[in-house]
Amino acid sequence: MNILEAIVRLIWLVGAAGFVLGLMRMNSPATARNGNLVSAGGMALAIAAMLVLLAVDKGLSTTAWIIILIGIALGGGLGLYMARNVKMTAMPQLVSLFNAVGGGAAALIAIDDFLRLSGQAGASIPLQTSVPTVLDIVIGSITFSGSLIASGKLMGLKITPSRPVMIPGGQLVTGALALIVAVAAIYLWLGNASVPVMFVILAMALIFGVTMTLPIGGADMPVVISLLNSFTGTAVAMAGFVLDNTVLIIAGALVGASGAILTKLMADAMNRSVINIMVGGFGGGEGTVGAMSGSGGSVREIGVDDAAIQLAYAQSVIVVPGYGLAVAQAQHAVRELAELLESRGVDVKYAIHPVAGRMPGHMNVLLAEANVPYPQLREMEEINPEFDRCDVALVIGANDVTNPAARHPGSPVSGMPILDVDHARSIIVMKRSMGRGYAGIDNELYVNPKTGMLFADAKAGLAELISAVKAL
Amino acid sequence: MNPELLAALTVFVLAILCGFAVISKVPATLHTPLMSGANSIHGIVLVGSMFIAASATDTLSQFLSLVAVAFSTMNVVGGYVVTDRMLQMFRKKPVAPKAADEKAA
């Protein structure tokens, strides 16, 4: 190791420390933005150091310079454009797309390395290289195709509809693909540097990513994206082993661990195991959905004016925003209503369920974009006791996360942590229809005598509410 | 097992544990930015992509490394910019709506 390389390796260490410190500063909204900048600074340092090392030490050829500069210009320009112009509601599919290209790049590194090593005369790749190479190709390719499909599903593209797409003999196909990959991997690990076998692995892993993601419903995509994010991290760590580069190993392992935790947190919030989600289909067996206990209870419908009076003369109101609010793009309308109520002296808070929106924490981002101050956004554990003291709970486009059926056994949502909306003195549910939520069951909250149903699209309904409150 | 591999494995395992420790403290409010932030960190793969670009001699290798560099730069730049856009919206107090709209645009 010459002096330059030693310096570069030390800079990489600084970069890796930047990633860890950056993630640590993401613990609180007050320091999070700074944390992201620390992380970005570490990244810039690490990349610049690599460029210097390559230019000075490895004597970068003109072609290599052109490749690197064109690649950076292309990818950077495209990434910058998309990141600047994406709507906040479309955030999940963009994150998934960036995840796909990251996984793709990791796989390409391993493919290139394998081709180089196998091209040498009498090639025999040692196990310590072939193991991470194959793992990198497998995981990176699954992430690449899987994330693209996930992104397409969230965009609602025709070829990748957001509903679960069942592949005929799905489990069998998936099993067969996994078996082929496993056999081929072992063949390579036995020291056979066969390029065709490597391409078989590549193709099978790409198909596996597709067949794994297609059967999963759009509402489960956040969990899948989070899992695939974790996969990319792992693939990058494997690329680090292939190239013997510590900063790739550290960053990859960090992301692998973070993605794994997030995936588990999300799945826990839905009271489902990650495996259950990956196998796909929720409520597929309609027959198992038990009849609603106390069914036959009648639903009380209320008008906009009635709702406006309740809200305007309340002391405290808790808003429970859900997926429906995000779909209707009604974040700004809800903030306007809240400000109006506050100007009348009403105490307004937001109760955010961990899985509200399309990604863990997505609802917070949407409301923050609508300029809602984050101290008003309360997490489930924190806000639940406050429902007892709250005059009106305003539920907008949220369903399963408010269903009291979760508290007793015998329902598909049993055991899922919910917001204790039914503890409020009065409940207003704004919803387009009596349609069921994602779990496909009736919501006991709606037949609660304290509940008034306000049937409206979130955006239009909120606009009407705002003018009704103003008219009071 | 040679010492380099052992060292690399040690770093790998400790980094995983470090990731668990650091991330399990993050509140649900920040899960989306965190996911996006973590997503940009694995853009470090650009370092690897540049390395294979530097040693590419045949056309296939050069093509693969060009795609790899472009992919990973997109991951890095897009990831950090989009995370920053999300995080700049988290404010303690509301600001004048006009300014916010301009920034979001």
Put simply, the answer to whether B43 touches A233 (Cβ < 8 Å) is no
- Report the SS3 class of residue A429: strand
pLDDT at A82: 94
The shortest C-alpha distance from B9 to chain A (Å) reads 9
pLDDT at A160: 73
CB pairs under 8 A between A and B: 391
3-state secondary structure A287-320: HHCCCCCCCCCCCCECCHHHHHHHHHCCCEEEEE
Of A232, A261, A265, the CB nearest to B42: A232
pLDDT at B66: 96
pLDDT at B76: 96
The whole-number mean pLDDT for each consecutive block of 10 residues of chain A, a chain of 472 residues, reads: 90 95 87 93 96 87 92 96 88 91 96 88 78 95 94 80 73 87 92 89 94 80 87 95 93 92 78 74 35 56 90 92 81 91 92 75 82 86 91 88 83 79 91 72 85 89 91 86
The shortest C-alpha distance from B101 to chain A (Å) reads 9
pLDDT at B31: 79
Contact (Cβ atoms closer than 8 angstroms) between residue A80 and residue B57: no
Which residues 6+ apart lie within 8 Å of A162 measured at CB? A153, A154, A156, A217, A218, A221
Say whether residue A120 is in contact with chain B using an 8 A CB cutoff.
Answer: no
Average pLDDT in chain B: 84
Average pLDDT rounded to a whole number, residues B86-90: 83
- Within A156-194, residue ranges assigned H as helices are 170-189
The shortest C-alpha distance from B65 to chain A (Å) reads 7
* ipTM here: 0.88
What letter would DSSP give residue A167? P
Active-site annotation of A, residues: 400
Query: Which candidate in B16, B42, B61, B66 is best for mutational testing of the A interface (most A CBs within 10 A)?
Result: B42
Which residues 6+ apart lie within 8 Å of A94 measured at CB? A82, A83, A86, A151, B78, B82
Helix axes B45-54, A91-119, angle to 10 degrees: 40
pLDDT in tens, B43-83: 999 999 999 999 888 999 999 999 999 999 999 999 999 99
Put simply, the answer to whether B94 touches A67 (Cβ < 8 Å) is no
Which conformational region is residue A292 in: left (phi greater than 0), alpha (psi within -120 to 50 degrees), or beta?
beta
Distance (Å) of CA A325 to CA A14, A81, A174, A340, B54: 43, 27, 36, 18, 49
pLDDT at A287: 30
Put simply, the answer to whether A237 touches B87 (Cβ < 8 Å) is no
Put simply, the answer to whether B35 touches A24 (Cβ < 8 Å) is no
3-state secondary structure B65-88: HHHHHHHHHHHHHHHHHHHHHHHC
pLDDT at A121: 61
* Confidence class for position B101, pLDDT limits 50, 70, 90: very low
The CA dihedral of A240, A242, A243, A248, to the nearest 10 degrees, is -10
